[in-house]
Chains A and B, each alone.
Chain A
């Protein structure tokens, strides 16, 4: 790298700024950590932002046990394992003809999907609950899958379509000449070549599914099928809040998604390129 002194100075300043800025960005997390590792009395009598008198790691165990997080984690994990791949598969299936086939109504159907980005989730809660009841799956984990799929599709189709469009047509033509069916082309060529985009969507969708609150709150009232974010609510009572346990619960709850994010970050950046170029 050849850089003039002035440029190097500029880089230095910008890097320092980025680090300072990141520390400010982290402040709320520091608060959460401070609150999660002390006693409720210490937090309340000495103030949220004071230094803890003593560190209390037991909060994490207490939060896990009194909150019954074993079930919530199991439910959220199950949901992600089932919903995320299924959603991305459905979106990719739809994105393939939108990107690579000529047919009547293609533009229209794409717009039809994008309209979904304009729909406020909260308005569909009541009709959704009625539907789930009619389907006989209200109050079960299964009730969350259809709405999560439906609300995830517009963005996912949009990204996948963009990525598929980047794949050279010659590749597909060659496969066709070799006698490959569209299904074979999709599974053997399109999907393997789109791994980065798929990983990107997997991260975004895992995050969205893991943190979704409103639909899960309304569609599931039983403890057995509850998910993690709704489970956190029980530390906020009618007249008082168990702040320390809540914060410990929050930290526990973000660990899995954070791990997924850190682990798949390289794909994340590479993957969105396709969507952007599309």
Chain B
């Protein structure tokens, strides 16, 4: 019996092999199937629906949709002052998001790269703001920035910087930077964590060799740490670009686009158009402008990351 079984296997083995090849080419797709299904259905699907509505004038409520071709896109790019202002704010914000939290995150990571319990605690502290629910972030920072009783102004007055005290969030020129400070506060933990992870991947021997060569702190940092983090930079910076262009929550809760319309970004402007002005078609077009910009900026990054 075992012999015949063996024979059976031997005889069918070419077929099994062929079959296995077939499986080999279907296997990846079987593994991918759940993700592709969920992702296509609940993210790509809705996005395609908005692509369709972006060519219409539609209030998002009634059944009447008027085809307007590219008019929504043309208005966004050439006629709408607020969307141009929002785009400018997005660019400024992204420039900030790519540099400041990243740099701080790097410094914190280098400073806290140790197993000591104190540094572990400090790491937790720096990451903690990310844990807070949005509604409290808006409220707390609204209080801290409050022109009348806010702790920031009280502090500035106490240390004699009277002229700096003022309505941080109420000023047309300062509101965006002030909101950005909150962003740095709440987002510095993420690059810090990524950099900490990157630091673990740099071989110890390199540092020891440098030490034997008598290299100082700065030259070690410049010649070993920074190059060793090259891959991390790509990730951190690219995520900063993605998130910089998609920023919405923080501005919505902290300034609501104000004062005037000075702090609108594309994300908030899209939300206002869709949910408050009943211009769902226009809002949809705005969201595609956001996605398009991010993709154009990110394509080189995606290429690099998907290379073998």
Interface residues of A (CB under 8 A from B): 2, 7, 10, 14-15, 17-19, 22, 25-29, 31-32, 47-49, 90-91, 93-94, 96-98, 101, 103-104, 106-107, 109-111, 113-124, 126-128, 131, 146-147, 149-151, 153-154, 157-158, 182, 186, 207, 211, 213-214, 228-229, 232-233, 236, 241, 243, 246-247, 250, 253-254, 257-258, 261-262, 265, 268-273, 275-278
A to B CB contacts below 8 Å, 7 in the list: A116-B44, A120-B287, A122-B274, A186-B31, A265-B120, A275-B235, A276-B201
A232 in contact with B136 (CB, 8 Å): yes
A contacts with B: majority SS: helix
A114 in contact with B125 (CB, 8 Å): no
A7 in contact with B43 (CB, 8 Å): no
Output the nearest chain A residue to B216 by Cβ-Cβ distance: A7
B143 in contact with A94 (CB, 8 Å): no
A233 partner residues in chain B, CB cutoff 8 A: 135
B128 in contact with A258 (CB, 8 Å): yes
A232 partner residues in chain B, CB cutoff 8 A: 133, 135-136
Contacts known (A28-B144, A258-B128); A273 close to B200, Cβ less than 8 A? yes
A98 partner residues in chain B, CB cutoff 8 A: 28, 32
B249 partner residues in chain A, CB cutoff 8 A: 213-214
Q: How far is the CA of A72 from the CA of B212 in the complex (A)?
A: 58
A-B contact count (CB 8 A): 248
B146 partner residues in chain A, CB cutoff 8 A: 48
The 10 closest A-B pairs by CB, nearest first: A272-B197, A97-B28, A123-B287, A94-B35, A127-B46, A124-B46, A150-B42, A118-B294, A150-B43, A250-B136
Q: How far is the CA of A225 from the CA of B122 in the complex (A)?
A: 36
B123 partner residues in chain A, CB cutoff 8 A: 265
- 8 Å CB interface, B163-216 against A: 185, 193-194, 196-198, 200-201, 211, 216
A268 in contact with B139 (CB, 8 Å): no
A29 in contact with B28 (CB, 8 Å): no
B contacts with A: majority SS: helix
B129 partner residues in chain A, CB cutoff 8 A: 25, 28
Indicate whether B103 reaches chain A with its CB closer than 8 angstroms. no
Output the nearest chain B residue to A153 by Cβ-Cβ distance: B39
A186 partner residues in chain B, CB cutoff 8 A: 31
B39 partner residues in chain A, CB cutoff 8 A: 113, 116, 150, 153-154
Determine how close the nearest CB of chain B comes to the CB of A262; give it in whole angstroms: 6
Indicate whether B82 reaches chain A with its CB closer than 8 angstroms. no
Interface core residue of A7, A232, A269 (most chain B CB under 10 Å): A269
Stretch among B67-75, B94-102, B255-263, B298-306 lining the A interface:
B298-306
Contacts known (A28-B141, A276-B232); A96 close to B193, Cβ less than 8 A? no
A276 in contact with B197 (CB, 8 Å): yes
B50 in contact with A124 (CB, 8 Å): yes
Output the nearest chain B residue to A165 by Cβ-Cβ distance: B308
Indicate whether B227 reaches chain A with its CB closer than 8 angstroms. no
Determine how close the nearest CB of chain B comes to the CB of A186; give it in whole angstroms: 7
- 8 Å CB interface, B71-88 against A: none
Contacts known (A32-B140, A122-B248); A111 close to B151, Cβ less than 8 A? no
Q: How far is the CA of A104 from the CA of B111 in the complex (A)?
A: 44
A229-B134, A272-B198 known, 12 other contacts, Cβ within 8 Å:
A18-B112, A27-B151, A28-B140, A104-B25, A117-B239, A118-B291, A126-B60, A149-B42, A150-B42, A213-B134, A258-B124, A273-B197
B135 in contact with A273 (CB, 8 Å): no
Output the nearest chain B residue to A157 by Cβ-Cβ distance: B35
Q: How far is the CA of A127 from the CA of B53 in the complex (A)?
A: 11
Determine how close the nearest CB of chain A comes to the CB of B114; give it in whole angstroms: 10
A276 in contact with B128 (CB, 8 Å): no
Interface core residue of A27, A127, A233, A268 (most chain B CB under 10 Å): A127
